[in-house]
Structure 1
Amino acid sequence: MSFSFGKQSQKASYQNIKQVKQWIYQALQIDDEISISLSQLQCTEPGCPPIETVINVMSNPVQQYKIHKSIAEIEYTDISRLNQDK
């Protein structure tokens, strides 16, 4: 699988990132002291979603979630589904 960290068609603003992180804390009921990492990846291989957001919750063990949207496109319902999908 080939991912690009370079040019991204939809760059997330600080406000987008902040909002998505707030939703993650709320929906997954995560303690405020636990860090969350968001990475927006672009895939160039056939059959791979063009953009994927990877969410890492830095608990012990680390929990990882993936949403097949850019950070700017993520809505609260996408985050709330993460608990159901795991």
Structure 2
Amino acid sequence: MRFANPFAPRDAAERAEAAARIKNWTRSALCLDDAARVLVHELACSRPNCPPRETVILIVPATDAAPFKIALHRAMRDLTENDLRRAWAGREAAP
């Protein structure tokens, strides 16, 4: 018998789909190969003047290069490919 986890996110499938989409867009925007790791996380914030959701994208290159990240003040499901391309283009040390 399996029990449902009452603490599991209710929209887990939607979040997984959004994360996969963001990973693909990131790989395309930065011309990353499959050896690089792309990690996508959505964080909640309850502090004043803080957006309710933030998406953080971390790139771990396959080489000895240092990992790097960007944070966008939107929920994963609300991000578009253009949002992501602008964010990476605006990053000073983009690879």
TM-score under structure 2 length normalisation: 0.73
The answer on 1:66 being equivalent to 2:68 is: no
Higher relative contact order (CA 8 A, sep 6+): 1
Q: Which residue, 77, 82, 89 being the options, matches 1:77?
A: 82
The 3 A distance-change label for structure 1 pair 47 and 10 is farther
State the AA in 2 paired with 1:83: W
Q: Percent identity?
A: 23
Distance in 2 between residues matched to 1:8 and 1:69, nearest whole Å: 18
Give the alignment of 1:19-58 within 5 angstroms.
Answer: 19-58=21-60
TM-score w.r.t. the length of structure 1 is 0.80
- Structure 1 unpaired stretches of 5+: 1-5
The code of the aligned residue for 2:79 comes to I
Tell whether the 8 Å contact from 1:17 to 1:71 is kept in structure 2 after alignment. yes
Secondary structure, aligned partner of 1:61: coil
Gaps of 5+ in 2: 1-6
CA RMSD between the two structures: 2.2
